[in-house]
Chains A and B, each alone.
Chain A
């Protein structure tokens, strides 16, 4: 079937071409990090190929958010993609500013989180593959339900069945049981709308594999504690998260990917090879990375200040390994992992203590010199705790910096403005 019959694939295909190009550039490299990137890109291309094939062949596939128990899709052999993925992809950078302007021209408020604004735009502009069903997300922010509302009013999407697991407010046993029941309902929903059956043995197998992945991730993070840290912003959290959420959740290929990652990091730690030649500042970036203009800021931090992002919000691994000894326990632990442990969800859905505890633990464990809260314009819930985070850092005697930016729109606070602000801060604090 030609692309003309599927205009929603136009952007998706161009993203795939971009990743193909990237893949071709690293596939024959001798650099271990490039070899790992080759594997990541292979996973990524595989996801694109599977989704495109599903659209063309009329096979079932799912649009999800992050931390929606992707092991379920693996166990049911269901291809999935994250409905909000596009703004986070490097392939989107060439279009991003125009897309933001188009979203605004559509009447979407400029105070709305740009990730949500763009995702709404991609639905409305028919730039996202239309799935068999949607697994929505009612947390961590109010923006996600706005996207659901748009989906329900869009002529091409409104008839797509959607399931939203209802998140409990508390973190007690009753809440855990409640959310486990919600995940069971999610599995039934997927069965009903995709025609696939959930084999509990296969789910157990996928979860045991994802347990291995998360255990390896933990091991990798232990290596990042080394001084100098073996990796900075360009390898670690985002890739680990993508492999466990988007590409190879509970799949052996993902587990092998983590083994390779550890092998690379172990070698660097053993030989005291850091992410930069001379590590002068170890920073904790407490949010997503500025995906829309990442290359305008983060390499500069390393080159100009020797500032290595030793940890970031999504690289921080607090995931509970799932006990698969009984079906009931397995669902409970799956609920815990996806609701109580997941980054951003854990902080923004939960109490401010989660922000404080994360900072305190990471500062201590990773010998952090400075905590940076990027202050993404969409993360108003997190920004409400700036005072508490600042107080925590003061008690820990580690500088805290709140920037104020848009992770996707470099015009909100320009890279030059941010560089100036950060330099001023580092100088004043005697860092670097």
Chain B
């Protein structure tokens, strides 16, 4: 049985294909301006990578993410919170707290031992703690999104950045640059500032180990280390690309739904 998950987020679209519970292929592409086109492109690429000729080869597809209502080939759509929980749990069954840091929101998800959502807290009102924040800072610091992580790890004396708002933090960063503060220390300070925000979110659901990050920002190792330092617990690295957790969860749910339909018939 081949099933698929498609997660159309604000920054990237992800498609995952699974066969009999095993990962077949996955793809991550920019979302662009048309979610339905991004979803189609991501799925076509995933099909090609899996060596499948057409979407007809897939038994069932579940959509998720901000653009989930615009995925024309999805049989149904499921909340990305549920999908990230399921995806992260599949990748690492000991995980009980998932911090999903996406392009435009950030969520702390508490999950039970079966990967179901027990509780969640969400910041979808501002850019703090999201990919957009890091993108804005990378632009100001001219270091690229990927450069943030390594700079953060180099920072020995993190600068004090009191603001978590991307607009005000940018002003602070410019002031610090003009004051001659080391770039690595500024970047580390930014990560500490965001860690405070994530900490507040995680406290709302309770921080239970294992803890992992998912979403695009989960690839920022510097952030994981700062969070570990703040929490005093290890932040686990997911064994697969953390950015596909949502699409993977959607595919897992598609598998369950498809099996249930088969059993019923």
Identify the A interface with B (CB < 8 A).
390-391, 394, 397, 399-400, 424-425, 427-430
- Tell whether, in the assembled complex, residue B82 and residue A428 are in contact, meaning their CB atoms are under 8 Å apart: yes
- Tell whether, in the assembled complex, residue A428 and residue B117 are in contact, meaning their CB atoms are under 8 Å apart: yes
B81 close to chain A: CB less than 8 A: yes
Nearest to B205 among chain A residues (CB) is A390
A74 to B116 alpha-carbon distance, docked (Å): 53
B60 close to chain A: CB less than 8 A: no
Cross-chain contact of A400 among B81, B82, B119 (Cβ < 8 A): B119
A425 to B117 alpha-carbon distance, docked (Å): 10
- Tell whether, in the assembled complex, residue A428 and residue B118 are in contact, meaning their CB atoms are under 8 Å apart: no
Q: Kindly provide the distance from the CB of B103 to the nearest chain A CB, expressed in whole angstroms.
A: 17
- Tell whether, in the assembled complex, residue A428 and residue B120 are in contact, meaning their CB atoms are under 8 Å apart: yes
Q: Which of B101-137 contact A (CB under 8 A)?
A: 110, 112, 116-120, 122
B29 close to chain A: CB less than 8 A: no
B259 close to chain A: CB less than 8 A: no
B79 close to chain A: CB less than 8 A: yes
- Tell whether, in the assembled complex, residue A427 and residue B79 are in contact, meaning their CB atoms are under 8 Å apart: yes
| Given A394-B118, A394-B119: A428 and B206 interface contact (C-beta under 8 Å) | no
- Tell whether, in the assembled complex, residue A429 and residue B206 are in contact, meaning their CB atoms are under 8 Å apart: no
A sample of 11 more A-B contacts (CB under 8 A), given A394-B110, A424-B122, A425-B120, is: A390-B204, A390-B206, A391-B206, A394-B119, A399-B118, A424-B81, A427-B78, A428-B82, A428-B120, A429-B117, A430-B117
Q: Which chain B residues border A394 with CB–CB below 8 Å?
A: 110, 118-119, 206
Nearest to B78 among chain A residues (CB) is A427
A399 to B82 alpha-carbon distance, docked (Å): 13
Residue picked from A394, A399, A400, A428, most chain B C-beta under 10 Å: A428
Q: Which chain B residues border A397 with CB–CB below 8 Å?
A: 112, 118
Q: Which chain A residues border B79 with CB–CB below 8 Å?
A: 424, 427-428
Leading 10 A-B pairs by shortest Cβ distance:
A428-B81, A427-B79, A428-B79, A428-B117, A428-B82, A429-B117, A428-B120, A394-B118, A430-B82, A394-B119
A199 to B61 alpha-carbon distance, docked (Å): 75
Interface size range on B against A: 10 to 19
- Tell whether, in the assembled complex, residue A430 and residue B116 are in contact, meaning their CB atoms are under 8 Å apart: yes
Q: Kindly provide the distance from the CB of B86 to the nearest chain A CB, expressed in whole angstroms.
A: 10
Q: Which chain A residues border B122 with CB–CB below 8 Å?
A: 424
Q: Which of B77-99 contact A (CB under 8 A)?
A: 78-79, 81-82
A390 to B121 alpha-carbon distance, docked (Å): 12
A16 to B81 alpha-carbon distance, docked (Å): 49
A397 to B117 alpha-carbon distance, docked (Å): 10
Q: Which chain A residues border B117 with CB–CB below 8 Å?
A: 428-430
A391 to B78 alpha-carbon distance, docked (Å): 26
Q: Kindly provide the distance from the CB of A339 to the nearest chain B CB, expressed in whole angstroms.
A: 33
Nearest to A427 among chain B residues (CB) is B79
A390 to B110 alpha-carbon distance, docked (Å): 12
A394 to B205 alpha-carbon distance, docked (Å): 10
A427 to B204 alpha-carbon distance, docked (Å): 19
Nearest to B120 among chain A residues (CB) is A428
A-B contact pairs, 19 of them (CB 8 A): A390-B204, A390-B205, A390-B206, A391-B206, A394-B110, A394-B118, A397-B112, A399-B118, A399-B119, A424-B79, A424-B122, A427-B78, A427-B79, A427-B81, A428-B81, A428-B120, A429-B117, A430-B82, A430-B116
Q: Which chain A residues border B81 with CB–CB below 8 Å?
A: 424, 427-428
Q: Which chain B residues border A429 with CB–CB below 8 Å?
A: 82, 117
A-contact 0/1 string along B199-219, CB 8 Å cutoff: 000001110000000000000
- Tell whether, in the assembled complex, residue B119 and residue A390 are in contact, meaning their CB atoms are under 8 Å apart: yes
Nearest to A386 among chain B residues (CB) is B204
Q: Kindly provide the distance from the CB of A177 to the nearest chain B CB, expressed in whole angstroms.
A: 42
Q: Which chain B residues border A391 with CB–CB below 8 Å?
A: 206
